[in-house]
Amino acid sequence: MSDLSRRCFLLLSLALATLAGTVACRAAEPLPVIAHTVKAEFDLTNHTVRIQDRMEVPPGIAYLRLGDGFEIEDILRTDRERPDPRIVISREEDEDGPWQKLSCAKMGLDRTGGFLLLVYSGRFHQPTDEVVFSRENVGGEITATIGSEGIYMSAGSGWLVGNPDAMATFDITIDTPMGYEPVTQGRRLEHEPRGDVLRTRWRAEHPSDGLNLIAARFVVHEKTLPDGVACYTYFLEDDPDLRALYEERTGAYLAMYEDMIGPYPYAKFATVENWFPTGYGMPSWTLLGGQVLRLPFIPYTSFGHEICHNWWGNSVFVDTDGGNWCEGLTVYCADYHYKELESPAAAREYRRNLLKDYAGYVVDAEKDFPLTAFKSRHSGATRAVGYGKSMMVFHMIDRMIGRDAFLSALHEVAREFRYLPAAWSDFLAAFGKAGNVDLGYVASQWLERTGAPSLALDKVEFGAKGVSFVLLQDEPAYILDVPVIVSGPDGDREHIVHIEGPSTPVTLAAPGATRIAVDPDCHLFRHLDPAEIEPTLRQVFAHTDDVVFVTGDQALPFVAAAREFAEDFIESGEPVFAADGVIPPDAGAGVLINPDARRAGALLPDGMVVSGSTVVLGGKRYDLDKADLAFATADPDQPGRPLLVVYTRSPQRLAGLASRLSHYGKYSWLVMPAGRGKVERGNWDAGDSPLTAVRP
């Protein structure tokens, strides 16, 4: 995740020229920068912080805002004037919550700028034991806490004053009890014990829109990478093997992204373990929950994603007036790129999963929105659009202009917009220039419009010299370059068919053609036909607001565990259970826990047998005393409604199973071992695509 999201404004004429790809990247107008020199003293016993912030406020700043939980002790102008707090301080509330608002105009700073000393304190002790940081729905997060476990102060708490239309630099000196190591963005300049206090100083000289800080009883290690970047690990327990892995991965990712995007923008990168669940990427550091940090796949997936944010979002800022492009681009440069490096098949499956995400989570028009409206993820639907659709837009542009031109454009944007806000239009300008193409339609079609195209194949005729067919799409029609794979005596050949209307007749020269397939590798962002999608867990997760749980006739420990499972599954609100075991017609999905043999008979797919504690699946035998089974299927009583079936013999395992399942939404079935061990998973066959035709 990235905290950096600022805005800038485009002249209309320049924006139109940029969208047409006729001009180079503009030099963005820098936002005003507030320079903070801060001293922060933390008292863990009393859960308090006292802050002295001497800031240089540039001209043009109308007000500053401070978090609601602070008591202002003193305000002092450079000229030693003490403004009357009753006059300059007011309260306001917006979508981010309540704030204290300090009027720069009433202090005489709005026109000329100047220095201001602000002294204030606050008490924060938000509980961390119920923090939720989920892949499906983000909620239950905290903004600030101070206690014996550690210190966490997020920019969202407003613990340092700022302005939504300004950036800031920070020189911060932090006093913590000995043993508590603080870390934040920037370069560490001082690290010195002073009696029973540790004094640490960090300087973040590059502009950002806020400062996040954490301190805990970390074991700290520092290593200088070959390019001179300081590589830190802040772990709650020393783990040499884990430390070596993250140091190696840090060096590898920095080298890869310097080649792909441009020079690393900071002096250090720190991997920091949190005592509660988080997955954040801030300028020059990432904060990962301890459990996530130790998952074997994280160093090769999500960790690289957070490092990539140091380019996209943390140093090239987001002009969110036109939509948040950085999550989709980070997915393209990280998660998707890793699949490209793995194999073409892995990359294809990744793209297909994004389309399945869209089909599964954006189940009705109310959940859809244009990319220009995307700000941040807070649900499966916002992730499917803001991350998945956005990534696919970058992928389609990559295919239009070629990889060399695409990477050249990324280098240009990273260079021209370092520490400045960039918009979608700036990327389209760079891509258009690098590829020498007009991308003007991309904004109106892919960014400003909701939905996706739906394709159909009609009137297919195979002849001696080739094949003819008609490509259909719903109206209003998209402008698309549709990949069509034609198979014949000489193997497979890709043809690109350009379409702009609802019906496009096509004739392809392909002597001896025996088969055609329209976009079989999922290069286009489009609605998958239902026949192209197999049942998956994500189809049930998409219905957390209207899912019904069925427990059947089970012992009390299982009933209690099922409630815990259901509460975790929906993440908020009160779960609904079918008292009579019947899922009502208006339910969007159902979850059946340990269904009886009579009911299971209609749900088990071909090739699966459940008999007592034995499961046979794909020719392999599993023991339900040692593992749990979950699989997705279609409701035989109501076509189109997805079901999730769960088998377990342990109430204790059932209670914690929902959070484990949430990581595997793209799969049709899972066999999850009771302890450590590999999770067996797979997908049912999707069936024949209606976008494929075979010669009779």
C-alpha–C-alpha distance, residues 201 and 100, integer Å: 27
Residue 400: closest CA among 349, 437, 429? 437
Give the residue from 601, 585, 581, 570 showing the smallest Cα distance to 639: 585
Residue 4: predicted pLDDT: 35
CB neighbours of residue 588 within 10 Å:
19
Decide: 214 and 272 in contact? Cβ < 8 Å: yes
Determine the average pLDDT of the residues in 15-24.
33
Q: What is the pLDDT of residues 572-590, one digit of tens each?
A: 789 999 977 889 999 999 9
Asked if 283 and 314 touch (Cβ cutoff 8 Å), the reply is yes
Q: What is the CATH number of domain 12-28+319-447?
A: 1.10.390
pLDDT at 287: 97
Amino acid identity of residue 183, one-letter, is: V
d(CA 291, CA 287): 12
**What is the pLDDT confidence band of residue 688, given thresholds at 50, 70 and 90?**
confident
**What is the DSSP annotation of 256-279?**
HHHHHT-S--SSEEEEEEESS--E
What is the per-residue pLDDT across 365-381, written as a single tens digit (0 to 9) for each? Answer: 889 999 999 998 888 89
Task: Enter the pTM of the model.
Answer: 0.88
| Tokens read off for 486 | 């034609």
Tokens of 310: 């140091």
The predicted structure's pLDDT at residue 132: 64
Strand partners, 221: 233
Q: How far apart (Å, rounded) are the C-alpha atoms in residues 319 and 327?
A: 13
| Band (134; pLDDT cuts 50, 70, 90) | low
Owner of token pair 């009393």? 46
pLDDT score of 138: 52
Q: For residue 284, with 0-12 CB atoms within 10 Å meaning exposed, 13-18 middle and 19 or more buried, which class applies?
A: buried
- N residues, the chain: 696
pLDDT at 340 over 80: yes
Distances (CA, A) of 251 to 125, 229, 248, 264, 503: 36, 9, 5, 11, 51
**Helical H segments across 24-108, by residue range:** 85-88
| CATH fold match for the domains 12-28+319-447 and 455-528 | no
The candidate with the shortest Cα–Cα distance to 589, out of 601, 599, 579, 575, is: 575
pLDDT band at 10 (very low <50, low <70, confident <90, very high): very low
Q: Where are the domains of the chain?
A: 12-28+319-447, 455-528, 537-682
CATH number listed for the domain at residues 455-528: 2.60.40
Distance set, CA 432 to CA 25, 294, 397, 418 (Å): 10, 42, 9, 20
Q: In CATH, what is the architecture of 537-682?
A: 2-Layer Sandwich (3.30)
Three-class DSSP category at 58: coil
Q: DSSP letter at 312? A: B
Residue 586: count other Cβ atoms within 10 Å of its Cβ. 7
Query: H/E element holding 98?
Result: strand 97-103
For the stretch 447-505, pLDDT in tens is 999 999 999 999 999 999 999 999 999 999 999 999 999 999 989 999 999 999 999 99
What is the residue type of 641? Answer: R
Task: Please tell me whether residue 680 adopts helix, strand or coil conformation.
Answer: strand
- The residue among 299, 304, 272, 298 whose CA lies nearest residue 285 is 272
pLDDT at 606: 85
Tokens found for residue 651: 């109430």
The answer to whether 549 and 643 have CB atoms below 8 angstroms apart is: no
More confident residue, 602 or 331: 331
- Of 618, 623, 670, the residue nearest 644 (C-alpha): 670
Does residue 18 surpass a pLDDT of 70? Answer: no
> Could you tell me which residues are beta bridge partners of residue 686?
none
| 8 A C-beta contact, residue 223 and residue 244 | no
Structure tokens, 557: 């420990």
